[in-house]
Structures are given as structure tokens and as C-alpha cells.
Structure 1
């Protein structure tokens, strides 16, 4: 496993814009209506190509794309909240420099309303990344696929779990709960993959 500090890259604005352009042309990574969206081998190839061109790891490219997507979703939510708010004269104007570059995602992102119509806290990059196992990386990739898929009963349950986690006031307890949930999912997934499990 690569050292977490080696995978973290300082992205320049120029590199970020280039990455967004490549992401836009790689519809298999974001367009759920594209037949190739379900082709994991193609997605892997595309991500490996991006990683090579940006001289970083696949994991770092995935991290950066995830952060860009989350930031863009947050910008859309802020704009929607301002529009639906009482003060219609005060419209939201994004200061995020990549909003226009990410506009191609607009049709593929469904904004779900959160409990109490409040926005989730903005995504902040940790000072030091915690080293994850390969299983945790696969779980995160699966979580991204689920995030992009149409809403179903499991998604509703996931939203409920997320709302309960957001309601926790103690950040340490929140991290412990998230890790416990991930462990349960990893253990259950491993048992599900085991042919000897009834």
C-alpha cells in the first residue's frame, strides 16, 4: 500500500481545469445513462490513464474528483436554497472558480433535500490522510456508485443513517460510529463473498 503522504498531490488551478476537462470527456465515470458507466474495467483504465498523465496515483485522482464533485453539489445546493428562501432579491453567486467547468454534471446530480432543509457542512480536506485498506477503498468506490444511482429503499435508509450521524454533536463519536458502520459493511460483504456462507 502506498504511503498516504505520497498519494496527496498539490493540484494547481491549471491541472485542476485539465482534470475536469478529462473527467467531462470520460463519461463512463459520471454519466449514469451511458452504457459504459457500469464497465468497471473501462473505469479503471480511464483512471489509470489520468493518474499517469498527472503523475499521481489512481487513488489521488479519485480523491480529487470526489472533492470536486462534492464541492459542485454543494454549490448547486446553496444556489437552490437561496432561490427557495424568503429573500429572493439576494441570489447566491458562487465564488468557486470551477463551477462553470463542472456544469456538465448538472443533469447527472440529483439534489436530495436534507433534514430540516439545512446544508451539510462543506467538505474539508484533512491535514493528514488516514491510511485506508484496499477493502475500504473498494467500499468508497462502491459508495460513489451508489451516490450516483437512482433513489431506492436502501438509499432512503442511507439518508436516515446520514441524518443521524449529522445529529451527533461529538465529532469523536461521529467518527467512531462511521468506522463501526464501515466495519460491519466490510465484514458482511466478506461473508457474502464467502461461498461457504449459507
Structure 2
């Protein structure tokens, strides 16, 4: 018998489902996780899970959507303009936010690279998800453009660099840094100092 048969507020129950699904998708391949697994982890029936998410793919996209929202909130806090914080300190804080959600983003990248069964890939769900992600990418880009622009004003970044291009480059590094085999310190070293040996000038 289901525990506390949906006496909880809908938003609380939905969060519990998302949280449980996040843990499962981070621990196991998408194709291995079932709606029954999610229901069991929450302590509800499978029917209850389907009240909130019509398919496993919609649930998976819901997990990513929730993670991105939390990531943006974390980045907004990390990148808040404060006079005493250097660009490096802000990017370090941003990196911590990225690492907090790296496992689910790795799961997403793995799923997209391996593909999904056609019957679990409804076009309207994918279209809605991609539209949301496009909007969020725009917000992330805007945040980092602002950070690099202000760093330029403080003399921390070369004046001949385009803040929009810097934001795009950092975004690329950010995606790489969600992969466990790429170290943040290595990526930051390349971004800040490049890869060429500097010649000593006499």
C-alpha cells in the first residue's frame, strides 16, 4: 500500500519524484531506470509518478530542467558583482555550481549520444524541452558576458577581447568540465594562460 497516498501538496510530491529520479539517473543508465524504480524510491505507486510525468523521457527532461534552474540560481549568486571578488574567484565559485550538477549533465550527454527508442521520443516533448534549454543558454551567456565586461572595466581582462566571445569560450570549457576526465584546474590554466610556452624577453 502506498505511503501517505498523495496527501502531500502537489509541488512537494513532484519535487520528491524529481529528486529520486535525479539520483537514479545519475547512478544508472537511462535505459536501465524504470518508472517503477522511481516510484519505489519515493514510496508511492507507479500511477502517482505518471500523474506528474507522462513518460520516462518527460521525467528525465524534467530532471534536467530542474537542475538547470538550480544551476542558474547558483551561478547568479556566484557571479553577483562584489568589489572585493576577482574574476578568478567568481569563476571558481561558478565552477563549484557546475560541479554540483555535473552528474546529471553527464547522464544527459550520454543519453543524447546513445539515442533513445522512437516510442520514447515524442516530438512535442523534445521540442518544448529544447525551447526551454535555448532560453536558458541565452541567460547563461548573458550572465558571463556581464562578468567578463565588468572584469575588463576593472583591468582584469585584456581590453582587445570580446566579452561575448569570452563567454562562449568559457561556456565550452564549462561543458568540458562536467566530464569527470577533464580537470577544472587544467581547463582554467588553458583559459587564463594558453598552451604556448612564453619566451623570456631580454
Q: Shared fold (TM-score greater than 0.5)?
A: no
TM-score by length of 1: 0.30
> Which of structures 1 and 2 has the bigger CA Rg?
2
The structure with the largest helix share of the pair is 2
TM-score by length of 2: 0.29
